[in-house]
Structure 1
Amino acid sequence: MAADSILGGQKLVAFAPTIDPERARAFYEGVLGLRLVADEKPFALVFDANGTMLRVTTVPELKPDSFTVLGWDVDDIEGTVDRLVSAGVVFNRYKGVNDGDPRGIWNSPSGARVAWFKDPDGNVLSVTEFRSA
């Protein structure tokens, strides 16, 4: 077996930290619409993210990173951003990157279009519409 195929055929499990599982559940389930699979108190909330397991893990303290920790590939970024804004999500604006777009969408050189937002713990999340340049 080649080294590059050791995990290539296995399912990915994603993780996001939280210091407030109740608030995280309200966001991931109630706002983003992920299906809660299990509440494994006091360790994690387990969600089904369209076939990918997302474990929102309870941690004693959290210093969120400034980069994206989770992202979704969407077909219609404008529609997705509008629906999330209607649900109360605030999109991040980065000076010189996406601050000129009314929705906060960045048009990358590759053709992908990206918008960023945070979960209640400050973890940076994104939605991306992939297009070819």
Structure 2
Amino acid sequence: MEDSAALVAFVAVTDLDRAQRFYGEVIGLTLHDERPYALVAAAGGATLRITAVEAVAAAPYTVLGWTVPDLNAAVDDLASRGVGFHRYEGMGQDERGVWTAPSGARVAWFNDPDGNTLSMTQLP
């Protein structure tokens, strides 16, 4: 496979109506309806398929993330829309739940309605 091949990311959900509210209204993605199979968004040059499944097997790690220019503003915006952010013991996160990596990257984690772990990162 070539580096120039277009990336398609997938996230599994059990309810496309609920996913449309979360990914469209809360996160702010422009969604194209391909029901009954998926919702599709163009995101940062990649395609995101929010795919309907019978049951989500929630992974214990981040399945999808975004790079943002101002993490504090992005966290505050999503928090104002009802999104809660993870706190991990021993991570030394700040009052918003933001962790600073040794590289200087800052990361915050949250869940979608199906329990998928999502993240936002501000690069140094």
Give TM-score scaled by structure 2 length.
Answer: 0.95
Give unpaired runs (5+ residues) of structure 2.
Answer: none
Does 2:66 correspond to 1:77? no
Q: Give the equivalent residue in structure 2 for 1:3.
A: none
Match for residue 14 of structure 1 among 1, 4, 9: 9
Q: 2:62 aligns with which of 54, 63, 68?
A: 68
User: 2-side partners of 1:86 and 1:7: how far apart?
Assistant: 41
Pairs aligned (count): 124
Partner residue, 1:30 = 25
In 2, the alpha carbon distance for the partners of 1:50 and 1:62 equals 25
1:50 offset after TM fit, Å?
Answer: 3.3
Q: Which runs of 5+ in 1 are unaligned?
A: 1-5
Larger radius of gyration: 1
Give, in whole Å, the separation in 1 of the partners of 2:48 and 2:72: 25
Aligned-residue identity in percent: 51
User: 4+ residue stretches of structure 1 with deviation over 3 A?
Assistant: none
Q: What is the CA deviation profile of residues 85-116 of structure 1, one whole-angstrom value per residue up to 9, with x for unaligned ones?
A: 01111001111114x41000001011110000
